């Protein structure tokens, strides 16, 4: 009898098997295999295994310089993001003031455009013949034209990436601060600590794991960022060197070694972040949360100061976006502070030229496909883990989260190497037709967010809702259709919108995989147009503005649906 029983439980978990196998096959083909390909090629030579290419990384002065630059950029961006996000998150997590909700939403705005696109605008704004240089000359601050970022390309890169990434650290920190039991801080104040001392001795130590986890995330993201340095023309950073190595992918293993190095750094950062996030949760659950938090209300003066601080930060943060918009509507913007002549012509051209219209269509189609795949896969994986606890589902969950640790650059490079060499001339050869791989890459990269969204939804929905439905006569499929899906629809929708928005402006996969104009997605088209003749840069900016509008609308929509939970999507681990 008990043997039969065990058999039937086995059969139960088996019923999820096709799903598990399908998902594993997809992740295996489009995540594991390309990664394995990269690793193997980094250590392979005609005579067998060798570590020489990896060793060579540290002997080649160009690579060493690139590593140094990459580390420096990542370090500076991380420090700058912390300097901005730490006081900001304290203000939003501990103080109440008029307009807080509105400002809180606006702080997410900088995320809506990849720094690579805003760099197009910023470069013009800060160029030798750009607005700021002209302004400086007119004010008599500078004698001649100043090429701000040309002289210090690192400054521009760090500035743009900081403005783009600080909201992610801010979201992580607000979550960490909100989880601290208020009575712990009240007890410190009660025992004689001033507000500053309370923050330094109680709040900060308790939030430290969350802070460091967020910092690790920022470090990895800025370390692996390809688009921004590319636009600023800084060739000596690792991602750009890898990008430049694409041409000789078949012949030169050095690029593989560089990819492995980037991957290792990313994996370490991700691992640290994950560990620290787990510890933050332990800290958070220590307290009983016996009292609701009563945020202190700022007075008139405080409110004004808060507005001033947040407002000026926002002004700087939207400057890149603004510059893109300006560029998109200016007929001529050369050696003047403001553009001479305004026009909407470029918006029209962005929609009508073959290249740009094709790019919009490509990106829309690819993002829709990737989103549909993510919603289906994400729900299936979360459901198997949370509801069935099926055999193999834990492993699948880990696998689906793995893309968080793998930079897009690495995945794209792996695709090019693995699929390009194995499936030459087929639909899986990116040089022949990159669309399938782009869709796969987009969806793999965003799958973790979708799994998280579905996971959170399923955990909020009590199991008894489904049991009651089964009990009243609904078959398992009908239970999913009539009860489970409607109850977590909001989560799926929000996750889907995020997937879609970020796929629309995905940079690394798009730049690396799409090599024929016909297949260019949005970002690659923008990159191609940037140096183009005939006001190419203006059309690029207009295209960026269109994308910005779509992405902004998407994020706002997702934010409305998810409310405060939008921060959970960008947790470090």
Partner 1 sequence: MTPAAITIDSLTKTFGSVRALDAVSLEIQPGELFFLLGPSGCGKTTLLRILAGLEKADSGRILFDGRDIATLPPHERGAPMVFQNYALWPHLSVAENIAFGLVERKVPKSERTTRVEEALRKVDMAGLGSRTPGQLSGGQQQRVVLARALVLNPRLILLDEPLSNLDAKLRHEMRDEIESLHARTDITFVYVTHDQVEALSLADRMAVMRGGRILGLGAPADLYHRPPNAFCAGFLGEANLFEAQLPAGAAAGAIVTIPGPLGPLSATTATSVQGAVMVMIRPEHLRPLGLPGAPPAAPDDNLFEAKVLKARMVGATIAAHLDAGGVPLRATLLNRVGVTPASLEGRTLKWAAAPSETILLARDQP
**Residue 296: strand pairing partners:** 95
Judged by CB under 8 A, the number of residues near partner 1 is 24
Q: Are 359 and 353 in contact (CB under 8 A)?
A: no
Closest approach, Cβ 16 to partner 1, in A, equals: 15
Closest C-alpha among 82, 77, 55, 58 to residue 68: 58
475 is a contact residue toward partner 1 (CB under 8 A): yes
Least CB distance to partner 1 at residue 13 (A): 13
For partner 1, the binding residue among 52, 141, 470, 549 (CB under 8 A) is 470
Least CB distance from residue 394 to partner 1, whole Å? 18
Which segment (17-25, 387-395, 470-478, 519-527) binds partner 1 by CB under 8 A? 470-478
| Residue 201 within binding range of partner 1, rule CB under 8 A | no
Q: Which residue, 8 or 251, is less far from partner 1 as judged by CB?
A: 8
Return d(Cα 329, Cα 249) in angstroms, integer.
Answer: 40
Two tokens, residue 347: 């918006």
Please identify, using beta-carbon distances, which residue of 137 and 487 lies nearer to partner 1: 487
Cα 388 vs. chain centroid, distance in angstroms? 30
CA distances to 94, 170, 182, 194, 203 from 197, rounded to whole Å, are 15, 22, 15, 5, 9
Cβ distance to partner 1 smaller for residue 122 or 456:
456
Q: How far apart, in whole angstroms, are the C-alpha atoms of residue 315 and residue 336?
A: 21
Nearer to partner 1, 252 or 471 (CB): 471
Closest to partner 1 by CB, 145 vs 476, is 476
Which of residues 252 and 462 has its CB atom nearest to partner 1 in the complex?
462
471 binding partner 1? (CB under 8 A):
yes
Q: Which positions from 477 through 506 interact with partner 1, judged by CB under 8 A?
A: 478-479, 482-483, 486-487
Strands (E) across 109-236 are located at none
Which one of 50-58, 239-247, 335-343, 474-482 is the stretch in contact with partner 1 (CB under 8 A)? 474-482
Vertex 486 angle, CA 482 and 492, to 5°: 135
Choosing from 474, 480, 493, 556, the residue that interacts with partner 1 (CB under 8 A) is 474
Segment lying near partner 1 (by CB under 8 A), choices 39-47, 199-207, 224-232, 466-474: 466-474
In three-state form (DSSP H/G/I as H, E/B as E, the rest C), the secondary structure along 210-266 is: HHHHHHHHHHHHHHCCCHHHHHHCCCCCHHHHHHHHHHHCCCCCHHHHHHHHHHHHH
- Binding string to partner 1 for residues 6 to 25, with x set by CB under 8 A, is what? --xx----------------
Q: Give the orientation angle of helix 393-401 with respect to helix 354-383, to 10 degrees.
A: 150
* Strand duo 340-342 + 330-332: pairing: antiparallel
Which residues, 6 or more positions from 481, have their beta carbon under 8 angstroms from its beta carbon? none
Given 96, 244, 467, 517, the residue binding partner 1 (CB under 8 A): 467
What distance in Å separates the CA atoms of residue 181 and residue 157, rounded to the nearest whole number? 38
User: Least distance from C-beta 1 to partner 1, angstroms?
Assistant: 4
| Nearest residue to 114 (alpha-carbon basis) of 532, 336, 349, 408 | 408
Closest separation in Å from C-beta 473 to partner 1: 4
Binders in 443-462 for partner 1, by CB under 8 A: 462
Q: Which of 318, 469, 528, 529 binds partner 1 (CB under 8 A)?
A: 469
- Find the binding residues for partner 1 in span 516-545 (CB under 8 A): none
Of 429, 414, 97, nearest to 256 (Cα)?
A: 414
Binding site for partner 1 (CB under 8 A): 1-2, 5, 8-9, 462, 464-465, 467-476, 478-479, 482-483, 486-487
């Amino acid at each position: 009898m008990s043997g039969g029983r065990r058999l039937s439980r086995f059969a139960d978990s088996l019923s999820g098997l096709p799903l598990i196998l399908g998902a594993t096959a997809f992740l295996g083909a489009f995540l594991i295999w390309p990664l394995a390909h990269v690793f193997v090629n980094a250590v392979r030579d005609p005579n067998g295994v060798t570590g020489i290419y990896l060793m060579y990384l540290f002997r080649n002065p160009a690579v060493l310089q690139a590593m140094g630059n990459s580390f420096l950029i990542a370090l500076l961006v991380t420090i700058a993001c912390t300097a901005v996000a730490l006081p900001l998150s304290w203000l939003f997590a501990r103080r109440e003031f008029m307009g807080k909700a509105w400002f809180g939403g606006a702080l997410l705005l900088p995320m809506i455009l990849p720094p690579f696109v805003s760099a197009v605008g910023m470069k013009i704004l800060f160029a030798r013949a750009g607005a700021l240089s002209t302004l400086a000359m007119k004010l008599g601050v500078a004698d001649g034209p100043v090429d701000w970022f040309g002289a210090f390309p690192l400054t521009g890169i760090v500035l743009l990436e900081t403005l783009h990434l600080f909201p992610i650290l801010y979201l992580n920190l607000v979550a960490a601060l909100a989880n601290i039991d208020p009575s712990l801080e009240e007890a410190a104040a009660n025992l004689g600590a001033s507000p500053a001392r309370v923050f330094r001795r109680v709040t900060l130590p308790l939030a430290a794991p969350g802070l460091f986890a967020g910092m690790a995330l920022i470090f990895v993201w800025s370390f692996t960022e390809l688009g921004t340095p590319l636009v600023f023309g800084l060739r000596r950073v690792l991602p750009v060197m890898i990008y430049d190595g694409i041409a000789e992918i078949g012949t030169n293993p050095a690029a593989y070694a560089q990819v492995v190095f980037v991957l290792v750094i990313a994996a370490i950062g991700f691992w640290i972040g994950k560990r620290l996030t787990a510890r933050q949760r332990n800290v958070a659950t220590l307290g009983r949360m016996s009292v609701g938090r009563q945020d202190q209300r700022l007075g008139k003066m405080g409110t004004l100061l808060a507005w001033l601080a947040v407002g000026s930060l926002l002004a700087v943060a939207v400057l890149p976006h603004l510059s893109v918009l300006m560029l998109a509507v200016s007929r001529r913007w050369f050696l003047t502070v403001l553009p001479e002549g305004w026009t909407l012509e470029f918006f029209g051209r962005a929609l009508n030229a073959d290249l740009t219209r094709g790019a919009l269509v490509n990106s829309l189609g690819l993002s829709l496909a990737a989103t549909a795949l993510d919603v289906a896969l994400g729900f299936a994986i979360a459901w198997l883990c949370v509801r069935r606890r099926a055999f193999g589902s834990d492993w699948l969950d880990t696998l689906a989260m793995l893309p968080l640790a793998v930079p897009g650059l690495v995945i794209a490079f792996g695709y090019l190497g693995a699929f390009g060499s194995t499936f030459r001339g087929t639909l899986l050869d990116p040089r022949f037709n990159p669309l399938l791989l782009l869709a796969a890459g987009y969806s793999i990269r965003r799958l973790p967010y979708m799994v998280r969204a579905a996971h959170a939804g399923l955990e909020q929905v009590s199991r008894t809702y489904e049991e009651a439905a089964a009990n009243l006569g609904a078959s398992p499929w009908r239970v999913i259709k009539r009860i489970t899906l409607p109850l977590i629809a909001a989560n799926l929708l929000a996750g889907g919108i995020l997937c879609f928005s970020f796929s629309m402006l995905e940079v690394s996969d798009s730049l690396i995989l799409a090599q024929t104009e016909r297949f260019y997605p949005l970002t690659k088209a923008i990159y191609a147009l940037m140096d183009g003749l005939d006001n190419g840069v203006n059309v690029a900016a207009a295209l960026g503005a269109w994308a910005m509008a779509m992405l902004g609308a998407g994020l706002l929509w997702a934010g409305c649906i998810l409310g405060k939970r939008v921060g959970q999507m960008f947790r470090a681990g």
